[in-house]
Amino acid sequence: MATSQRMPQPSSEERPRFVDRPPERFNDPKLNPYLIGHREFGPPLLTATQAATYYGRWHEAFGRHAPLHVEIGAGNGFFLAGFAQKHPEINLLGIEIRYKRTVLCARKIRNAGLSNALITRYDAWFLDDLFEPGSLSGLYINHPDPWPKDKHEKNRLISRWFLEEAAIFLREGATLRLKSDFEDNVARVPRLLDADGDGAPMPALPFQITGRCEDVTQGEGLWPDDIETNYQSKFRKRGLPVYAIELTRTGQAWPPEGWVSKHAR
Ligand SMILES: C[S@@+](CC[C@H](N)C(=O)[O-])C[C@H]1O[C@@H](n2cnc3c(N)ncnc32)[C@H](O)[C@@H]1O
């Protein structure tokens, strides 16, 4: 794997970045053992510091040019490893914030002998550290943390802000697939395409809704190549629905000229 310095990024002066815990803190025996474990695992697991060096050149991390797809909140890695196995033509990067889960994902990738999947410990609120505009061919979010209480609404990943970010990173024709056990995470998406979380009008985002399903645990679901995740199987076994929606990036430019998002960090 290449180790050269990260490429310069235009927004690096203006926006805070996700910071990896510094190596000198790793000697504290009270720290999570997976904090050290995730550093020592090696490929297919990239630390946050390593991942950020691949901005603009992810093909080097994978060792080949292929469409780059990303799963956010990869959890135990069932989707990541399963989808990469079903799609050898793509490079699939998992992003997961919890140390132990990155190790579980990495083990699944390694045990399956996959060379087209990687996992990194990174924070999904900082995707602009990792990706150039228009560089992603697919984005997958399976059961994002629900934060159901109103007072925690600002913590929800599925937000106007996140959809604006997705509009920047996804190329024309790329799809965003979302599955959630929390109905509002899916129900709010159509509203957020042209309004903010409070319902105030916003410029229409460059997405078409190309699929919607009230329960992917029943019948044929929404995608023939879908993979059941750990959380998804828990809800299916309890007889509870898993909602899903698919957005496809249109060719419309984003952001509109002269418009400054109030959601920018
Ligand atoms: C409810 S779990 C779902 C896990 C898995 N996708 C599944 O369906 O089984 C949500 C996952 O998102 C991860 N997560 C939460 N916030 C995150 C963030 N800001 N960046 C990256 N991952 C995050 C959590 O650690 C957790 O693994």
User: If we measure between CA atoms, which residue out of 142, 148, 158, 166 comes closest to residue 221?
Assistant: 142
Is residue 262 a part of any domain in this protein? Answer: no
CATH at residue 190:
3.40.50.150
| DSSP structure class, residue 150 | G
Alpha helices of 71-203 — where are they, by DSSP H? 78-86, 99-111, 160-169, 183-192
Active-site residues: which are they?
A: 145
User: If we measure between CA atoms, which residue out of 124, 123, 126, 263 comes closest to residue 197?
Assistant: 263
Per-residue pLDDT of the chain (265 residues), as tens digits, is 333 333 334 444 567 889 887 777 777 777 888 988 899 999 999 999 999 999 999 999 999 999 999 999 999 999 999 999 999 999 999 999 999 999 999 999 999 999 999 999 999 999 999 999 999 999 999 999 999 898 898 899 999 999 999 999 999 999 999 999 999 999 999 999 999 988 999 999 999 999 999 999 999 999 999 999 999 999 999 999 999 999 999 999 999 988 877 665 5
Is residue 261 a part of any domain in this protein? Answer: no
User: How far does residue 84's CA lie from ligand 1's centre (Å)?
Assistant: 18
Is residue 28 a part of any domain in this protein? Answer: no
| Domain carrying residue 56 | 34-249
Is residue 258 a part of any domain in this protein? Answer: no
User: If we measure between CA atoms, which residue out of 10, 173, 163, 144 comes closest to residue 72?
Assistant: 144
Distances (CA, A) of 155 to 23, 120, 151, 198, 262: 28, 21, 9, 15, 17
Is residue 114 a part of any domain in this protein? Answer: yes
Pocket-testing residue among 18, 70, 83, 96, ligand 1, by greatest number of atoms within 8 A of Cβ: 96
Is residue 210 a part of any domain in this protein? Answer: yes
To the nearest 10°, report the CA torsion of 159, 222, 212, 147: -30
Distances (CA, A) of 91 to 85, 157, 182, 239: 11, 23, 29, 34
User: How far does residue 235's CA lie from ligand 1's centre (Å)?
Assistant: 16
Is residue 256 a part of any domain in this protein? Answer: no
pLDDT for residue 19:
87
| CA–CA distance, 197 with 161 (Å, rounded to integer) | 9
- State the greatest distance between any 2 C-alpha atoms of the chain, in Å, as a whole number: 52
Is residue 112 a part of any domain in this protein? Answer: yes
User: Is the shortest distance between the CB of 130 and ligand 1 below 6 Å?
Assistant: no
User: Is the shortest distance between the CB of 55 and ligand 1 below 6 Å?
Assistant: no
The count of other CB atoms within 10 Å of the CB of residue 187 is: 13
| Domain count across the chain | 1
Pocket-testing residue among 78, 130, 143, 156, ligand 1, by greatest number of atoms within 8 A of Cβ: 143
Q: Would the pTM of this model clear 0.75, i.e. be above it?
A: yes
Of all protein residues, the one whose alpha carbon is nearest to atom 24 of ligand 1 is: 73
